[in-house]
Chains A and B, each alone.
Chain A
Amino acid sequence: MLVSLYNAATGMNAEQRKLDIISNNLANVDTTGYKKQRAEFQDLLYSSVKEAGTPTAQGSTLPTGLYVGHGTRLAATTRIFTLGNIEPTDNSTDIAIMGDGFFQVQMQDGSIAYTRDGSFKLDANGRLTTSDGLMVIPNIVIPQNAVGINVSPDGIVSVSLGDGTIQNVGNLTTVRFLNPGGLKPIGNNLYSETPASGNPTEGIPGQDGFGALQQGYLEKSNVDVVKEMVDMIVAQRAYDINSKTITTADEMLRTVSNVKR
């Protein structure tokens, strides 16, 4: 009926979704390796009442037209891959990536997923896995008689055996994406590749722009609580204001119905 009513509704809708995103960021403030998301808005198409370039009665053409806007929409959510806080854990199988890169893990269906959550565990066979038991690629197997595990910044995993010898058990590699913002989150701190993210490039940590590994540390989430709270207030107020638009449009419609008594 009134464009304004629907404009305000699109505004409320988009602010609601923004709040959904903020609340997810805040809920994951302590999630290892979580990367915050940001809501991005676009204005909707404009319907033209008068096209620009229309000839006028004076023989010239209209330089600007008359366009009516139709509100806003949430166009995209972008993941922000800035580094989170690196915190010590004193656990030898916790590994943080100090910069660019993702660990690769093998999913149940054989596909590969990517994660920055380096809180690894050992399974009964001594294999390095994620907290959910997914195998880390390349596979690292720690021998039963190992007494200590050492991960070098460039990914070389070695163990010290009971008799004092040191044995190399494999190399951890990481992968990078041209556009990590295009990765698809699949939950459990994992991402899968998409056409937008590009293909993964594998490399040695600490070289050619790949972040070095840091054993005994974990990367916390990069959510900035103050910023999220401020965004939440902004979203709530914008929501309020759009609801006032609805009330106003409604009052005007009521006035219309009073014209004829």
Chain B
Amino acid sequence: MRGIYNATAGMLNSFAELNSISNNLANLNTVGYKKDFNLFKSVYEKEIRSYQNAQGKGEPIGNIYSSVILDEVIPNLEQGSLIETNGKLDFAIEGDGFFKIERNGNYFYTRNGEFSLSPENYLVTKSGDYVLDEENNPIRINPDNFFVDEEGNISGTNIRLNILNVENLNKYGENYFTGEEIGQADNFYVKQGFLEGSNVDALNEMIKMIEANRKFDILQKAVSTGDSLNAKLIEITSNF
């Protein structure tokens, strides 16, 4: 019966695979979106040995796994393509780093530089959360004369956008990540008037989708085969 459970675990994993592929494809046009990929791991690895020899010990002949599970979903931080918008409040980061965002004392990180102005003239995201400067203060700008250079310095002020390297990233939604800061990023250019497109490669995702689909079919065959073998077994033994 073990084969049936192994194959079933594989089928469930194909579903999990399809879930992240479908999320990637749905976010093909989401600014600053980073594609996910799945990491699977085998569980209950066990050494198997040959039949006992004279010394009472079998020769190791390999390993057997009883199942496979989805272990991690990891965002791929590859650079997305830069799209020119000419918007004064649109920013793309070319290279490393994330913009730091504050919502009610919680910090988030994003690559989506599609900002707006709040009624009080603060630089905010589309969800209305503050974009922070290097001192972790909200940024108040002069909308008539708002230019940001490639290092993130805001012209006419000594304020600089907080561009951080972040590790252990987890997706939050609304184009935000949560994670742990590991200091200022230094290998980046801030591009005003540009946005970073999603880094989802449709072709690649489609191929992964076909693969998940076929793998699923094959595993279903394995379940059916295991089942018919059992049926055969029952049929033979019932004749005695």
Answer whether A and B are interacting partners: yes
Which residue numbers of A lie inside 8 Å of B, CB to CB?
Answer: 2-5, 7-8, 10-11, 14-15, 18, 38-46, 49, 52, 63-72, 75-76, 78, 80, 82, 100, 178-179, 181-182, 195-198, 209, 234-235, 237-238, 241-242, 244-245, 248-249, 251-252, 255-256, 258-259, 261
Q: Which residue of A lies closest to B112 (CB)?
A: A42
Find A69's partner among B19, B85, B116 (CB 8 Å cutoff).
B19
Classify the secondary structure of B's interface with A: mixed
Jot down 11 A-B pairs with beta carbons below 8 A, ordered by A. Answer: A38-B85, A40-B126, A41-B30, A45-B174, A52-B170, A64-B169, A72-B29, A196-B119, A245-B209, A252-B15, A258-B224
Cα A205 to Cα B202 in complex, Å, equals: 49
Interface size grouping (class) on chain B? 35 or more
Tell me whether B15 and A46 are in contact (CB under 8 A).
no
Does B68 sit at the interface, judged by CB under 8 A? no
Q: Which residue of A lies closest to B14 (CB)?
A: A252
Does B220 sit at the interface, judged by CB under 8 A? yes
Contact with A along B64-81 (1 / 0, CB 8 A): 000000111110000000
Nearest CB of chain B from residue A229's CB, rounded to whole Å: 15
Cα A7 to Cα B36 in complex, Å, equals: 14
Which residue numbers of B lie inside 8 Å of A, CB to CB?
Answer: 11, 14-16, 18-31, 33, 36, 70-74, 85-87, 89, 112, 114, 116-119, 121, 126-127, 143-144, 167-175, 178, 202, 205-206, 209-210, 212-213, 216-217, 220, 223-224
Tell me whether A235 and B206 are in contact (CB under 8 A).
no
Tell me whether B116 and A242 are in contact (CB under 8 A).
no
Cα A86 to Cα B14 in complex, Å, equals: 56
Tell me whether A179 and B168 are in contact (CB under 8 A).
no
Tell me whether B220 and A259 are in contact (CB under 8 A).
yes
Q: Which residue of A lies closest to B145 (CB)?
A: A209
Given that A80-B87, A241-B202 are known contacts, is A181 also in contact with B19, CB under 8 Å in the complex? no
Q: Which 10 A-B pairs have the closest CB atoms?
A: A11-B26, A69-B23, A4-B22, A7-B22, A45-B173, A179-B117, A41-B30, A71-B26, A63-B168, A4-B18
Given that A43-B174, A80-B87 are known contacts, is A71 also in contact with B23, CB under 8 Å in the complex? yes
Tell me whether B33 and A43 are in contact (CB under 8 A).
yes
Classify the secondary structure of A's interface with B: mixed
Nearest CB of chain B from residue A47's CB, rounded to whole Å: 10
Nearest CB of chain A from residue B88's CB, rounded to whole Å: 10
Tell me whether A195 and B28 are in contact (CB under 8 A).
no
Tell me whether B29 and A255 are in contact (CB under 8 A).
no
Cα A229 to Cα B175 in complex, Å, equals: 26
Q: Which residue of A lies closest to B198 (CB)?
A: A41
Nearest CB of chain A from residue B13's CB, rounded to whole Å: 12
Tell me whether A256 and B220 are in contact (CB under 8 A).
yes
Cα A46 to Cα B24 in complex, Å, equals: 13
In the complex, which residues of chain B have a beta carbon less than 8 angstroms from the beta carbon of A66? 70-73
Given that A78-B116, A252-B213 are known contacts, is A245 also in contact with B70, CB under 8 Å in the complex? no
Cα A245 to Cα B174 in complex, Å, equals: 22
In the complex, which residues of chain B have a beta carbon less than 8 angstroms from the beta carbon of A5? 22
Tell me whether A69 and B213 are in contact (CB under 8 A).
no
Task: Given contact pairs A179-B143, A245-B22, enumerate 5 new A-B contacts (beta carbons under 8 Å).
Answer: A41-B27, A43-B33, A49-B70, A63-B167, A244-B206
In the complex, which residues of chain A have a beta carbon less than 8 angstroms from the beta carbon of B27? 11, 41, 43, 69, 71-72
Find B173's partner among A42, A80, A100, A248 (CB 8 Å cutoff).
A42
Find A3's partner among B19, B86, B209, B220 (CB 8 Å cutoff).
B19
Given that A43-B173, A75-B174, A259-B220 are known contacts, is A181 also in contact with B117, CB under 8 Å in the complex? yes
In the complex, which residues of chain B have a beta carbon less than 8 angstroms from the beta carbon of A237? 202
Nearest CB of chain A from residue B191's CB, rounded to whole Å: 17
